[in-house]
Amino acid sequence: MENIHELKALLSAPKDIIIISHRNPDGDAIGSSLALYHYLCSFGHAVHVVLPSEYPDVFQWMPGVSECIVFDTEPDRTREVIEHAQLIFCLDFNSLDRIDKVGELIQPLKAKKILIDHHLYPEPFADYMMSDTTASSTAEMVYDFIILMGHKKEIGLATAECIYTGIVTDTGSFKFSTSPKLFRIVAELLELGVDDYRLQDLIFNSLDEKQLRLLGHCLNNRMEILPEYRTGIIALTKEDYEDFEIVRGETEGIVNYLLKMRDITLAAFITEQPNIVKLSLRSKGDFSVQDIARKHFKGGGHRNASGGFSFQPLKATLRKFKELLPEYKESLNQY
């Protein structure tokens, strides 16, 4: 990060700070935000974590999570803390439209903004940018940030647990975006007392019966395989959402099952939401879903994990997605 000395000076006296992460926060959004929250609190800053929408129940155990302010449920309180902020950290998102209304609220403010993020093509909306598209997770970058500030010794157990959560969720339990550096960091987190077995149990063995049956329904009744394009699709309708009483976060990870097939390179999980159709895309190897999400579905993300949306109905969106595949046939078959 350029101007790290300036930022160090800003943080040398207690400040009112907010940390913002993206809509529909995942383990990395919450893990990185709460890790930074605990770190900054330990230096006497007054810190608030702001989320545009509610976090999934599976993260209820995380230290500090109940302190998060959710714009959807507490818009007035959110406005109040945002107005008081002297510094604004933006974590795990690369453009203000990823935080909806909260983006409009912070854009005109004079408070300095600091971006810490690992998504491709970050937009230059922040005063300080820490962008590393090779990082496994924003949580890994929060660790890097603390090191950069010269505070390795100040990392407490709560910070370590939150960093671990961001890393373990964004790497699919150390399956992708790993590096020797990442494993060294994780080793240090364990040395600080993180109980990795307990945390993985809390995070990944948390489904209820209904969710496991929903997974079965997706694989048995809603999956379509297009062998010619090495592509798998799972599409859920509004009725599926009603029948299975699906709530936020409960479909997390279903898209990855498609990639368990040897001959699949591209996976799409397409869901009918109240106002939009949401696409969750995954790929193997060099095939970039970021390209498809950005060019055709107003989205983005990473090479092997991206998302986007469409204002067209589910059927039309599915048709559009399938009609794109011939264009990518050659690269899909190169894997």
Q: Report d(CA 220, CA 218) in Å as an integer.
A: 6
Is 28 among the residues that bind Mn ion (CB under 5 A)?
Answer: yes
Half-sphere exposure of 245 (CA within 13 A, CB side): 3
Is 7 among the residues that bind ligand 5GP (CB under 6 A)?
Answer: no
Is 306 among the residues that bind ligand 5GP (CB under 6 A)?
Answer: yes
DSSP symbols for 29-90:
HHHHHHHHHHHHHTTT-EEEEEESSPPPGGGTTSTTGGGPEETTT-HHHHHHHHHH-SEEEE
Is 301 among the residues that bind ligand 5GP (CB under 6 A)?
Answer: yes
Map residues 59-98 to x or -, x wherever contact with Mn ion holds by CB under 5 A.
---------------------------------x------
Is residue 165 within 8 A of residue 27, CB to CB? The reply is yes
Scanning residues 80 to 109, which ones bind ligand 5GP (CB under 6 A)? 98
What is the nearest approach in angstroms of Mn ion to the Cβ of residue 134? 13
Q: Which of 189, 259, 305, 332 binds ligand 5GP (CB under 6 A)?
A: 305
Q: How many residues would you count in the chain?
A: 335
Scanning residues 134 to 153, which ones bind Mn ion (CB under 5 A)? 137-138
Sheet architecture: strand order including 128-131? 69-70, 46-51, 16-20, 87-91, 112-117, 128-131
Scanning residues 161 to 200, which ones bind Mn ion (CB under 5 A)? 170
Is 232 among the residues that bind ligand 5GP (CB under 6 A)?
Answer: no
By beta-carbon distance, which residue lies closest to ligand 5GP? 307
Is residue 87 within 8 A of residue 15, CB to CB? The reply is yes
Is 302 among the residues that bind ligand 5GP (CB under 6 A)?
Answer: yes
The binding site for Mn ion (CB under 5 A) comprises 28, 92, 137-138, 170
The binding site for ligand 5GP (CB under 6 A) comprises 98, 119, 280, 299-302, 305-309
